[in-house]
Structure 1
Amino acid sequence: MSITTKFTETFGVEHPIAQGGMQWVGRAELVAAVANAGALGFITALTQPTPADLANEIARTRDLTDKPFGVNLTILPSINPPPYDEYRRVIVDSGIKIVETAGSNPAPHLPMFHDNGIKVLHKCTSVRHGVKAQSLGVDGISIDGFECAGHPGEDDVPGLVLIPAAADKIEIPMIASGGFADSRGLVAALALGADGINMGSRFMCTVESCIHQNVKEAIVAGD
Structure 2
Amino acid sequence: MKLNTRITKMLGIDLPIIGAPMFLVSYPDLVVAVSEAGGIGCFPSLNYRSPEQLKDGLQEIRSKTKKPIGVNLILHKSHNPNWSKQLQVVLDAKVELLITSLGSPRTVVNEAKSVGAKVFCDVTTLKHANIVAKAGADALIAVAQGAGGHAGNISPFSLYPYLKKKQVYQLSRRVQFLAVHRCWPLFR
TM-superposition CA deviations, 1:99-137 (whole Å, max 9, x none): 111112111322222222221111111123112211110
TM-superposition CA deviations, 1:139-198 (whole Å, max 9, x none): 111111112111112xx221122112222222311111122xxxxxxxxxxxxxxxxxxx
Q: RMSD between aligned alpha carbons?
A: 1.8
Match of 1:207 in 2: none
- Percent identity between the aligned chains? 25
Match of 2:32 in 1: 32
- 8 Å CA contact 1:20, 1:72 repeated in 2: no
Mapped partners of 2:49, 2:186: distance in 1: 30
Name segments (4+ residues, structure 1) moved above 3 Å: none
**Greater relative contact order structure (CA < 8 Å, 6+ sep):** 1
Note the residue ranges of structure 1 that are not aligned, 5 or more in a row: 180-200, 203-218
| Letter in structure 1 aligned against 2:25 | V
Q: Normalising by the residue count of structure 1, what TM-score does the alignment of the two structures yield?
A: 0.75
Match of 1:59 in 2: 59
**SS, match of residue 121 in structure 1:** strand
Q: Offset at 1:81?
A: 4.3
Mapped partners of 1:37, 1:166: distance in 2: 30
Note the residue ranges of structure 2 that are not aligned, 5 or more in a row: none
Match of 2:124 in 1: 125
Confirm or deny that 1:167 pairs with 2:170. no
- 8 Å CA contact 1:144, 1:152 repeated in 2: yes
Report how many residues are paired: 182
Q: Offset at 1:96?
A: 1.2
Over 3 Å counting, the alpha-carbon distance change for 1:2 and 1:166 in structure 2 is: farther
TM-superposition CA deviations, 1:34-63 (whole Å, max 9, x none): 111111211211110111111111111112
Over 3 Å counting, the alpha-carbon distance change for 1:77 and 1:146 in structure 2 is: farther
